[in-house]
């Protein structure tokens, strides 16, 4: 498959959004939803993960695709709930991109939380792009969440963490606690620090009743995961 064929495949793929519930740990009430991209592409041809890996090397296509995707995510989002939307800093670099997203985010400012996602690179240039994006959002009073905290290979940044209203704890933390229960105390300390800073913690990857009981003991504010899949909506 050549580059043009792949570009056309991605741009014309049927697109859906999955809205995964974020719940209060104590009450189990829904407090928000996270919008997740779903592409209707034959997995034998290209996976969603491979799509985004490819797009990191094609900024123009990535930006075009995300204009469509973000509009869809906000248009169909469950009403009366904040929506956590993943944004890659690489598509907010040029003046054209910044102007577009500033207008888009201003329109949805009251209902959107921007999740700052890793762009797959740990070099200094990429780190600067993410820091600049974090500052750009803060200047415009857009609420943000630091995504994938503690995920293998992720970049830890106090700068971005301090700018964020929410810290999303990667699901790998719960899996690590299953293998070594001493990591419970480590995560408990992280969550206490987050809350002491006036921020909210969200533990991802709650897949079983045992996970839920662990999260309750940890004292996290919020949680999400497949254990609550009956609350997921797809549009």
Of the ranges 5-9, 162-166, 188-192, which one carries the lowest mean pLDDT score?
5-9
Classified by CATH at the fold level, domain 3-234 comes out as TIM Barrel (3.20.20)
Structure tokens at 107: 């329109």
Confidence of residue 191 (pLDDT cuts 50, 70, 90): very high
pTM above 0.85, yes or no: yes
Domains of the chain by residue range: 3-234
The overall average pLDDT reported for the chain is 91
Q: What's the confidence (pLDDT) of residue 118?
A: 66
The per-residue pLDDT for range 43-74, each reduced to its tens digit, is 666 667 777 778 888 899 999 999 999 999 99
Q: Which residues contact 63 (CB under 8 A, 6 or more apart)?
A: 91, 97
User: Residue 116 and residue 133: Cα distance in Å, rounded?
Assistant: 8
**Torsion sign (Cα): 20, 133, 203, 121:** positive
Widest pairwise Cα distance in the chain: 52
Phi, psi of 68 (to 5 degrees): -65, -45
Residue 22: is it exposed, middle or buried by C-beta count within 10 angstroms (0-12/13-18/19+)? buried
């Amino acid at each position: 498959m050549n580059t043009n064929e792949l570009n056309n495949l991605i741009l014309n793929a049927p697109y859906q959004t999955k809205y995964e519930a974020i719940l209060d740990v104590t009450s189990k009430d829904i407090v928000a939803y996270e919008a997740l991209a779903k592409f209707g592409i034959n997995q034998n041809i290209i996976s969603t993960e491979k799509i985004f890996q490819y797009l990191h090397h094609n900024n123009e296509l990535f930006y075009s695709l995300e204009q469509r995707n973000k509009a869809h995510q906000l248009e169909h989002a469950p009403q009366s709930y904040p929506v956590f939307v993943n944004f890659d800093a690489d598509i907010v670099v040029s003046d054209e991109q910044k102007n577009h997203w500033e207008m888009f985010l201003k329109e949805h400012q009251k209902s959107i939380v921007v999740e700052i996602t890793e762009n797959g690179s740990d070099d200094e240039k990429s780190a600067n792009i993410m820091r600049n994006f974090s500052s750009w959002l803060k200047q415009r009073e857009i609420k943000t969440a630091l995504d994938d905290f503690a995920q293998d290979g992720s970049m830890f940044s106090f700068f971005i963490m301090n700018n964020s209203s929410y810290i999303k704890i990667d699901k790998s933390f719960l899996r690590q606690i299953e293998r070594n229960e001493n990591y419970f105390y480590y995560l408990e300390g992280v969550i206490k620090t987050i809350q002491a800073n006036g921020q909210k913690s969200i533990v991802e990857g709650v897949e079983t009743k045992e996970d839920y009981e662990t999260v309750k003991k940890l004292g996290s504010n919020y949680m999400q995961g497949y254990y609550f899949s009956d609350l997921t909506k797809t549009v």
